[in-house]
């Protein structure tokens, strides 16, 4: 039973990582979409019409999010991230949606209009990715040999998605009605619905499952018909498309990411021991600024998650409260990447009461500072700078300069050191038991995800020395290293070292 739970948990972690691939395309598309809108430039520039071709460029991506999810998830789930899986995902999506719509129209005699939104892309991507892993090396009889291996994957995906299309064509109209009802209930419940989403959004972060939750609310719930007659779904896409009712599941994150968590960093700095305060200030200030500017918060959250889990629970509750308060006050804002200052400025003209949002942020910042400082000092919580076992930053910087002679005796494949990231990659391989102990490695924005043969070989102290904020063990073989926004380039180097490239 335990092994099945671990496998299921690992799958959802991989799915969360894969979902980030198509989501990564959204900020650029949203940037083009916003920069092309007339309200950005005012009535005196470009004839008051904005830049239509810029809008078209942004819509080209946003309007195809379902397909991008199918391609991105299938590639993300594929063992070797091969493009053949992406092709299978795209073909599977086309087959699935057309069969579903056609069968539902026939079955319900045209009385039901199906709109599966991004979920159709997710289903196609998941199926294609799993089928790729299963059949990528299949051997067929000699006269069919051309269709063997990776070429077989789009074929089998098409047949599987055809069957699933028939199934969903029969059941989805009723499911869609229930989903819309549930989504409308949460949306219309306002404060309660916003609180529940905000609370769960943060609570799932340690497991990397918040991306799956976000995709449902941001890309699935709710419908809006644009001026040109196109139907879009999801809180995020609807907001960017001009829906005046969208944003309830996004607005409350701005006070948390721009003000509250940076204030928590200030509290941790002031609560640090005097002889360690200078050492932790650089790190905490940098991740606080990152949170404010871009909305990337995991480096902050993982700096206290495992050192003071009670604080993280309070953080999750306060995040839900922030969403509830902004909903209650009628504030509406949205983003394409995360709730940072950049998105706040870009979408300022689409927002309602954006100045009031800043005031809420200041209040939340004060609340966070008081709660964090009080809890840390009162209960002697071992946040950065207070743990006797913490290595100060200067020490870490010195130890980042890898001693090549020491590593030569390890399983790490030593190459000429081209950069600091190469050194970090080599140290990580060494700290997790060598390249022969690594079965799979991936990354999302701030974390490195490892599937190991033996997680007991992981040396936490070494990972801390090279700048890891936290190390998470999930099950027997799964380990996540929170290392910040260098996660993706470091993983690329780890893969090259493993393959001796």
User: Is residue 159 in a domain?
Assistant: yes
Calpha distance 333→291 (Å, rounded): 17
DSSP states of 421-483: HHHHHHHHHHHTT-GGGEEEEEE-SSEEEEEES-GGG--HHHHHHTT-SEEEEETTTEEEEE-
pLDDT for position 353 = 95
Asked, for residue 149, whether it belongs to a domain, the answer is yes
Rounded distance between C-alpha atoms, residue 202 and residue 311, angstroms: 12
Q: Looking at the structure, tell me whether residues 371 and 409 fall in a common domain.
A: no
Per-residue tokens: 173:
């109209």
- Residue 37 inside a domain? The answer is no
Domain boundary among 326, 355, 378: 378
Query: Do 208 and 449 meet the contact criterion of CB atoms below 8 Å apart?
Result: yes
Pair 427, 486 in one domain: yes
Are residue 361 and residue 453 in the same domain, yes or no?
no
Any domain includes 464: yes
Residues 351 and 410 in one domain: no
- Tell me, yes or no, whether 81 lies in a domain: yes
CATH of the domain at 427: 3.30.1360.60
Q: Which of these is catalytic: 265, 375, 427, 444?
A: 444
**Would 49 be classed as within a structural domain?**
no
Domain's final residue, options 160, 188, 216: 188
Q: Clarify whether residues 291 and 347 are in a common domain.
A: yes
Catalytic residue status for 396: no
pTM of the predicted model as reported, rounded to 2 decimal places: 0.61
Rounded CA separation 303/322 (Å): 21
Rounded Cα gap, residues 347 and 37, in angstroms: 11
Instruction: Please indicate, yes or no, whether residues 84 and 166 belong to a single structural domain of this protein.
Output: yes
Q: Produce one character per residue of 177-187: b if its CB has 16 or more CB atoms within 10 Å, e if not.
A: eebbeebeebb
pLDDT at 173: 84
Q: At what angle do helices 118-135 and 83-107 cross, to 10 degrees?
A: 130
Same domain (yes/no): 362, 419: no
Instruction: Give the model's pLDDT for residue 219.
Output: 83
Segments in 82-151 forming alpha helices (H): 83-107, 118-135
State the residue range of the domain holding 263. Answer: 253-378
Q: What is the dihedral of CA 137, 16, 450, 308, to 10 degrees?
A: -170
Last residue in a domain, options 343, 378, 413: 378
Domains of the chain: total: 3
Give me the tens of pLDDT residue by residue for the chain, a chain 501 residues long: 566 766 776 777 677 677 767 876 776 777 787 778 776 676 777 777 788 898 888 888 878 888 998 999 999 899 888 889 999 999 999 999 999 999 888 887 765 567 777 788 989 999 999 999 999 889 888 888 888 888 999 999 999 999 999 999 998 888 777 766 665 676 667 789 899 999 988 988 876 567 767 877 888 778 888 888 888 888 998 998 889 989 999 999 999 999 999 999 999 999 998 887 887 898 889 889 888 988 888 778 877 876 788 899 999 999 999 999 999 999 999 998 789 898 899 889 899 999 999 999 999 999 999 999 999 999 988 788 886 544 433 443 444 444 434 444 444 444 444 568 888 999 999 999 998 999 888 887 678 989 898 888 999 888 988 888 888 887 778 898 988 878 888 988 998 888 875
């Amino acid at each position: 039973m335990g092994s099945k739970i671990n496998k299921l948990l690992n799958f959802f972690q991989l799915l969360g990582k894969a979902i980030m691939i198509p989501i990564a395309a959204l900020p650029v598309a949203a940037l083009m979409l916003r920069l092309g809108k007339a309200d950005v430039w005012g009535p005196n520039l470009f004839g008051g019409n904005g830049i239509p071709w810029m809008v078209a460029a942004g819509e080209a991506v946003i309007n195809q999010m379902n397909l991008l999810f199918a391609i991105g998830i299938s590639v993300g789930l594929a063992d070797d991230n091969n493009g053949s899986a992406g092709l299978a995902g795209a073909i599977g999506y086309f087959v699935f949606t057309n069969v579903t719509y056609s069968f539902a129209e026939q079955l319900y005699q045209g009385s039901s209009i199906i709109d599966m939104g991004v979920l159709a892309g997710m289903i196609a991507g998941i199926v294609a990715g799993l089928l790729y892993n299963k059949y990528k090396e299949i051997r067929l009889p000699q006269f069919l040999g051309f269709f063997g291996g990776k070429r077989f994957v789009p074929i089998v995906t098409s047949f599987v998605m055809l069957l699933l299309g028939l199934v969903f064509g029969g059941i989805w109209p009723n499911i869609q009605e229930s989903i819309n009802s549930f989504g409308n209930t949460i949306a219309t419940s306002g404060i309660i619905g916003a609180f529940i989403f905000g609370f769960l959004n943060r609570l799932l972060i340690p497991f990397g499952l918040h991306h799956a939750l976000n995709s449902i609310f941001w890309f699935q719930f709710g419908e809006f018909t644009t001026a040109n007659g196109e139907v879009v779904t999801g809180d995020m896409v609807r907001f960017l498309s001009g829906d005046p009712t969208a944003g309830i599941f996004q607005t409350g994150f701005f006070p948390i990411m721009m003000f509250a968590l940076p204030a928590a960093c200030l509290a941790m700095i002031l609560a640090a021991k005097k002889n360690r305060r200078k050492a932790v200030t650089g790190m905490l200030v940098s991740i606080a600024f990152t949170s404010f500017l871009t909305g990337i918060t995991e480096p902050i959250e993982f700096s206290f998650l495992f050192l003071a889990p009670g604080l993280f629970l309070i953080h999750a509750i306060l995040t839900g409260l922030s969403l509830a308060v902004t909903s209650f006050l009628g504030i509406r804002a949205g983003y394409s990447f995360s709730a940072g200052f950049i998105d706040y400025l870009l979408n300022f003209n689409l927002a309602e009461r954006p100045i009031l949002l800043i005031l809420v942020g200041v209040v939340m910042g004060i609340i966070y500072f008081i709660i964090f400082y009080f809890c840390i000092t009162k209960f002697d919580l071992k946040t950065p700078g207070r743990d006797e076992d913490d290595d100060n930053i200067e020490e870490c910087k010195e130890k980042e300069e890898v001693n090549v002679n020491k590593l030569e005796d390890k399983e790490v494949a030593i190459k000429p050191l081209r950069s600091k990231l190469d050194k970090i990659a080599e140290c990580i391989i060494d700290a997790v038991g060598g390249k022969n102990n690594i079965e799979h490695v991936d990354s999302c924005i701030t974390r490195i995800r490892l599937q190991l043969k033996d997680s007991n070989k992981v040396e936490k102290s070494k990972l801390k020395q090279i700048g890891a904020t936290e190390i998470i063990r999930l099950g027997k073989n799964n380990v996540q290293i929170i290392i910040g926004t260098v996660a993706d380039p470091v993983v690329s180097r780890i893969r090259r070292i493993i393959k001796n490239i």
